[in-house]
């Protein structure tokens, strides 16, 4: 090489346009690598923060024994821990996503983990906490009383009984609107006169075998000594329900108060946990469990529990002490009576029953309302005021209408509290009700209840489906609705009866009502159930279901015909077995359950593994190791770590629709589609894998796009190199030397792309796949560079536009009547179209730029769509995909911006090359408008065919790869190709008649 010949770097530095293009591609490649590296770091941070809930594993009894979790997983047939729901796709979720139904961890209410197995789990190395769980339904637990009050008429002093009919309607609301629970017509006789409320009976008015106990001595009731015992309260109210007649009534603050119907109630669900383990599992959020943990020191003996309660602060403990006091007083009175009658005291229970400490919470998500219509049937007769012997008019008994006497409405939601002794008093129309002191009835008995597990969802092509096969009454009287030997929870195969509710939960064995059996344990409130801390504990993106506390909500989104409806939040029903379960209102400690009193199976154990902080392969290996050791105990294990909530649409059938007309039969049929918040298991791993793979592929696509843009810029340089090559040949250079001359310049471009590709490999998570992409990009740049060097080293040749045979060249035509010959040049439009053939390399560079922009945009769009399919529809996936989308859009923006700027630079190179041609056009008189028309024609001749071909190719590929998104991807290809082409071709400055000095110098 001769001295003074500039080197490739110097030559490149002199060519500012090519230098700018190369710098732009290098910057774009570096930006692509940086964006993707940032996306990978953001993803890792997101997973570290949101991948783990309170525990890592769900342990249940072996599926062969009826156990297993209620996992709804498409494509997971035969997988351990899956129920029979194993082959149906879930709308909105990935094809193989295992899903867990809301608030339910166990498939079979009876199959349980034994206490020995629980201890074996806790002994496994690596187990931090093992927290057991059981849920039981508690029928026949009443809450409070419902009474009426009638003001006493102080102006009347003689008995004046009057007959009435009270039509009592109890209503609830399942979210679809009010529905009737029960409607009862009750015949009443009420004597509101201010007459004597007590009478003294003569000896001949009592039974002689009755005894009067005075100072521990028994006297026959008809003896003179028994005179103090012959005072009797007068029954001023008689209530007839069907054929049953009861008498009563007491005076409170000048009002006559009496019962009308048995109290409506809900069947509460009792959640049993190991209080200490649950407290450790929940951390600070489990502070509400402290009373249960502390109550362990008192045990279950009633006297010790009462003494412990007396030392505890709070209204709940004080109220329970008052109940114990009232119970003990009633027990002492009964013992005194038995002793006075000479009955054996050893037949009475020795002391009060043992207690099961419980936490009690509110029932705010259920509703209960009362409506009472009164009818007056006038005065009636009385035969025996002491015995309540009032006469009911025939018209009242026969159902004939009476005189309307008013309407009473009241909110009775307090009656749904299973351990409340609230006394709701309905005032007579136009009056006020008195406030009544608590009755302190006995604590409810605990006999184990009815084990309750998750509904069994049936797989269909459209997703999970839930059908009711049994129905429970919404109202059942404790006084008249049970007989000895009858089931404590009544269900029937039909739901047409008024008040019936669909049973969707899976019930265990339903015990029968036994009479005379001593109460072994009672539910004793020791504290309030405050779940605010649990709600705060739940990570909205990655919360393993606790299976106990939260309400499993449901939102109706489509009717039974599949037509969309306004989203409607459904409410819990009263039976406790409906589609929506109420939030937990009772929590007890498994350690305090008397095994002789109740056999409660441990339905699930939630296990947290020790020594885990971040989401990585080591953490997953630790969890899997513990899971394998638990499986060796003969138990089923499902990974809960990395779980995330997901909305699932469930088709619900067999729904008992409510009615407001007691004479109607309830309609039973398809409710429609309800949207529930389920849990997608292993969502974090799925999200991490999907986004990491997409990130790597997007990085490769970005590198490929940058390489193609470099290739497009090299095509524009070929004509200039041919001119240089022709000059070099004239001074004696051989072609080999010319190839070396140009080749050194291209090596710089290859080196720049290789350097940025190496940087991308270093910051990528999947270095192997990224290395392949970087190598492909370097290969593309090298191939285009080699083509440019070979083509440019040939020197100039005659333009293809002038190579036609002379016979086909029509540049003139005869015009005029005398046959004179005149020049008729090509029109501006035809001239512009002809430029495409004369300058094919420029047209090819524009088409390649358009193809690169369209390919980058379509690739990113396809990556985003595939990424969403693979990641699933969980909330964690939505959050992480939203973060990744910003990186994807930025990547697409960088690629499109690079294509546009590179197009501008390429066009400027072309303008410089065409300077002489532009000068000739001005010289022959072409105006700026004509040159504009020629330019627009050339631009359209390049842009429209290229855009059409690119769109057609993109549509064909999309139809084969993603047929459902073919239209979307074809539209993206068309838009991005057109925009890139327009940006490339719209850079010619406005041409005016008379060029500026700069225009004259550059030929523009």
pLDDT of residue 817: 44
The mean pLDDT of 278-305, rounded to a whole number, is 90
Q: Residue 234: pLDDT above 80?
A: no
Closest CA to 839 of 707, 733, 942: 942
Question: From CA 942, how far away is CA 954, in angstroms rounded?
Answer: 18
Going by pLDDT thresholds of 50, 70 and 90, the confidence category of residue 830 is confident
Phi, psi of 559 (to 5 degrees): -85, -175
Angle between helix 875-913 and 966-985 (nearest 10): 30
d(CA 318, CA 329): 17
Buried b (16+ CB within 10 A) or exposed e, 631-642: eebebbbbbbbb
How much is the average pLDDT of 933-950? 86
216 burial (CB, 10 Å; 0-12 / 13-18 / 19+) is exposed
Per-residue tokens: 257: 């108060």
**Quick one: how far is CA 25 from the chain centroid?**
44
Of 229 and 824, the structure prediction assigns the larger pLDDT to: 229
Which of residues 940 and 781 earns the better pLDDT score? 940
Residue 437: count of CB within 10 angstroms of its CB:
8
pLDDT at residue 630 above 50?
yes
pLDDT by residue (tens digit) across 377-387? Answer: 999 887 665 55
pLDDT of residue 802: 45
Q: Does pLDDT of 285 surpass 60?
A: yes
More confident residue, 370 or 575: 370
The Cα angle at residue 171 between residues 169 and 172, in degrees rounded to 5: 170
884-930 pLDDT per residue, tens: 777 777 777 777 777 777 667 667 767 777 777 888 888 888 888 88
Provide the β-strand partners of residue 60.
636
Tokens of 44: 């890792």
- Of 985 and 61, the structure prediction assigns the larger pLDDT to 61
User: Which tokens is 659 given?
Assistant: 């009615």
- pLDDT top residue among 34 and 58: 58
User: Do the Cβ atoms of 761 and 770 come closer than 8 Å?
Assistant: yes
Confidence (pLDDT) at 334: 82
In terms of phi and psi (left: phi > 0; alpha: psi -120 to 50; beta: otherwise), the region of 395 is alpha
pLDDT for 856: 79
946 alpha-carbon distance from chain centroid: 46
Tokens 């007959």 correspond to 163
pLDDT at 765 over 50: yes
Asked whether residue 704 carries a pLDDT value surpassing 60, the answer given is yes
Q: Tens digits of per-residue pLDDT, 494-523?
A: 889 898 889 887 777 776 666 556 667 889
Q: What is the pLDDT of residues 980-999, one digit of tens each?
A: 788 777 655 444 443 443 43
Crossing angle for the helix pair 16-50 and 875-913, to the nearest 10 degrees: 180
- pLDDT band per the 50, 70, 90 thresholds, residue 814: very low
Confidence of residue 142 (pLDDT cuts 50, 70, 90): low
The pLDDT of 307-333, averaged and rounded, is 90
Average pLDDT over residues 462-475: 83
Q: Which residues are CB-contacts of 227 (< 8 A; sequence separation ≥ 6)?
A: none
pLDDT in tens, 389-414: 678 888 998 889 999 999 988 888 87
Task: For residue 490, name the pLDDT band (cuts at 50, 70, 90).
Answer: confident
Whole-angstrom Cα distance, residue 711 to residue 718?
11
- 251, with CB counted inside 10 A (0-12, 13-18, 19+), is middle
The stretch 98-104 carries a mean pLDDT of: 74
Both tokens of 542, joined, read: 């990655």
* Closest to 786 measured CA to CA, from 702, 711, 720, 898: 711
Least confident of 90-104, 362-376, 929-943: 90-104
pLDDT, position 205: 76
Is residue 737 over pLDDT 80?
Answer: yes
pLDDT for position 103: 66
- For the chain, percent of residues with pLDDT exceeding 90: 15
Q: Compute CA distances 454 → 103, 287, 439, 578, 970, whole Å.
A: 8, 27, 37, 11, 46
The listed range with the strongest mean pLDDT (20-29, 615-624, 659-668, 755-764) is 659-668
Segment 652-660 mean pLDDT: 92
How confident is the prediction for the chain on average, in pLDDT?
78
Q: Let me know: does 105 contact 417? Beta carbons within 8 Å.
A: no
**CB-CB contact of 61 with 113 (8 Å):** yes
The confidence score (pLDDT) of residue 477 equals 57
pLDDT at 791 (0 to 100): 82
pLDDT at 727: 84
Q: Tell me the pLDDT tens digit for each residue of 148-191.
A: 888 888 777 788 888 999 998 989 999 999 999 888 888 998 88
Name residue, tokens 């040749």. 797
Better-scored residue on pLDDT, 792 or 478: 792
């Amino acid at each position: 090489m001769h001295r003074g010949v500039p080197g490739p770097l110097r030559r490149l530095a002199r060519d500012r346009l090519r230098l700018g293009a190369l710098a732009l591609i290098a910057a774009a490649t570096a930006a692509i690598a940086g964006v993707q590296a940032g996306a990978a770091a953001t993803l890792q941070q997101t997973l570290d923060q949101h991948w783990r809930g309170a525990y890592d594993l769900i342990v249940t009894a072996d599926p062969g024994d009826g156990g297993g979790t209620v996992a709804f997983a498409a494509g997971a047939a035969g997988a351990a821990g899956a129920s029979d729901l194993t082959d149906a796709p879930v709308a909105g979720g990935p094809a193989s996503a295992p899903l867990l139904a809301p608030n339910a961890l166990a498939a079979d209410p009876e199959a349980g983990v034994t206490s020995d197995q629980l201890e074996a789990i806790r002994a496994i190395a690596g187990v931090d906490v093992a927290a057991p769980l059981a849920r039981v339904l508690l029928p026949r637990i009443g809450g409070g009383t419902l009474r009426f009050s009638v003001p006493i008429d102080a102006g009347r002093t003689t008995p004046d009984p009057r007959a009435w009919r009270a039509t009592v309607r109890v209503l609830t609301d399942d979210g679809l609107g009010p529905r009737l629970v029960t409607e009862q017509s009750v015949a009443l006789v009420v004597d509101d006169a201010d007459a004597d409320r007590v009478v003294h009976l003569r000896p001949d008015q009592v039974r002689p075998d009755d005894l009067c106990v005075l100072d521990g001595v028994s006297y026959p009731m008809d003896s003179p000594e028994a005179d103090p015992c012959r005072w009797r309260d007068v029954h001023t109210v008689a209530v007839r329900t069907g054929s049953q007649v009861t008498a009563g009534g007491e005076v409170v603050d000048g009002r006559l108060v009496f019962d009308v119907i048995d109290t409506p109630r809900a069947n509460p669900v009792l959640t049993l946990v190991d209080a200490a383990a649950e407290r450790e599992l929940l951390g600070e959020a489990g502070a509400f469990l402290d009373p249960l943990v502390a109550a362990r020191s008192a045990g279950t003996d009633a006297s010790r529990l009462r003494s412990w309660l007396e030392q505890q602060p709070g209204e709940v403990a004080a109220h329970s002490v008052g109940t114990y006091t009232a119970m003990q007083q009633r027990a002492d009175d009964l013992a005194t009576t038995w002793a006075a009658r000479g009955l054996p005291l050893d037949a009475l229970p020795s002391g009060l029953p043992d207690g099961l400490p419980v936490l009690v919470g509110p029932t705010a998500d259920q509703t209960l309302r009362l409506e009472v219509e009164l009818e007056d049937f006038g005065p009636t007769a009385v035969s025996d005021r002491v015995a309540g012997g009032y006469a009911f008019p025939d018209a009242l008994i026969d159902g004939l209408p009476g005189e309307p006497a008013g309407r009473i409405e009241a909110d009775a939601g307090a009656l749904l509290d299973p351990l409340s002794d609230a006394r709701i008093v309905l005032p007579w129309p136009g009056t006020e009700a008195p406030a009544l002191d608590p009755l302190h009835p006995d604590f409810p008995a605990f006999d184990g209840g009815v084990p309750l597990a998750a509904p069994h969802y049936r797989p269909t092509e459209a997703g999970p489906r839930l059908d009711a096969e049994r129905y429970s009454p919404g109202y059942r009287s404790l006084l008249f609705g049970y007989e000895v030997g009858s089931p404590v929870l009544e269900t029937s195969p039909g739901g047409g009866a008024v008040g019936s509710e669909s049973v969707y939960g899976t019930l265990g064995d339903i015990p029968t009502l036994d009479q005379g059996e001593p109460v072994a344990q009672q539910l004793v409130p020791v504290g309030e159930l405050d779940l605010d801390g649990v709600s705060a504990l739940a990570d909205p993106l990655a919360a393993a279901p606790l299976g106990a506390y939260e309400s499993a909500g449901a939102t109706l989104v489509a009717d039974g015909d599949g037509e969309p409806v306004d989203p409607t939040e459904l409410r819990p029903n009263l039976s406790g077995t409906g589609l929506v379960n109420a939030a937990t209102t009772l929590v007890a400690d498994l350690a305090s359950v008397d095994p002789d009193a109740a056999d409660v199976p441990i339905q699930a154990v939630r296990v947290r593994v020790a020594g885990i902080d971040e989401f990585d392969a080591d953490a997953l290996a630790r969890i899997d190791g513990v899971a394998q050791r638990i499986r060796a105990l003969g138990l089923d294990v499902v990974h809960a770590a990395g779980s995330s909530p997901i909305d699932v649409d469930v088709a619900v059938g067999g729904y008992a629709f409510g009615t407001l007309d007691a004479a109607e039969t309830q309609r039973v049929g398809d409710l429609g589609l309800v949207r529930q918040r389920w849990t997608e298991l292993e969502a974090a791993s799925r999200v991490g894998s999907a986004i990491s793979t997409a990130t790597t592929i997007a990085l490769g696509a970005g590198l490929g796009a940058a390489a193609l843009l470099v290739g497009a810029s090299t095509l524009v340089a070929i004509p200039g190199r041919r001119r240089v090559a022709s000059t070099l040949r004239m001074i004696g250079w051989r072609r080999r030397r010319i190839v070396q001359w140009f080749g050194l310049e291209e090596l710089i471009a290859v080196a720049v792309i290789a350097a940025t590709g190496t940087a991308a490999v270093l910051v990528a998570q999947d270095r192997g796949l990224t290395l392949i992409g970087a190598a492909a990009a370097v290969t593309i740049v090298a191939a285009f560079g080699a083509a440019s060097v070979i083509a440019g080293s040939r020197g100039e040749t005659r333009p293809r536009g002038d190579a036609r045979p002379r016979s086909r060249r029509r540049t003139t035509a005869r015009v005029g009547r005398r046959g004179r010959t005149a020049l008729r040049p090509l029109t501006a439009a035809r001239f512009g179209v002809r430029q495409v053939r004369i300058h094919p390399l420029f047209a090819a560079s524009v088409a390649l730029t358009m193809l690169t922009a369209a390919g980058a945009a379509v690739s990113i769009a396809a990556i985003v769509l595939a990424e969403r399919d693979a990641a699933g529809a969980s909330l964690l996936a939505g959050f992480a995909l939203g973060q990744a989308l910003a990186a994807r859009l930025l990547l697409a923006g960088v690629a499109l911006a690079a294509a546009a700027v590179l197009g501008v630079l390429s066009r400027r190179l072309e303008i410089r090359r065409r300077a002489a041609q532009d000068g000739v056009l001005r010289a022959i008189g072409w105006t700026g408008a004509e040159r504009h028309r020629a330019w627009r024609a050339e631009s359209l001749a390049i842009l429209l065919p290229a855009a059409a071909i690119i769109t057609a190719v993109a549509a064909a590929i999309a139809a084969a790869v993603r047929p459902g998104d073919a239209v979307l991807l074809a539209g993206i290809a068309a838009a991005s190709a057109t925009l890139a082409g327009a940006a490339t071709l719209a850079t010619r400055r406005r041409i005016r008649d008379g060029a500026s000095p700069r225009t004259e110098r550059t030929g523009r």
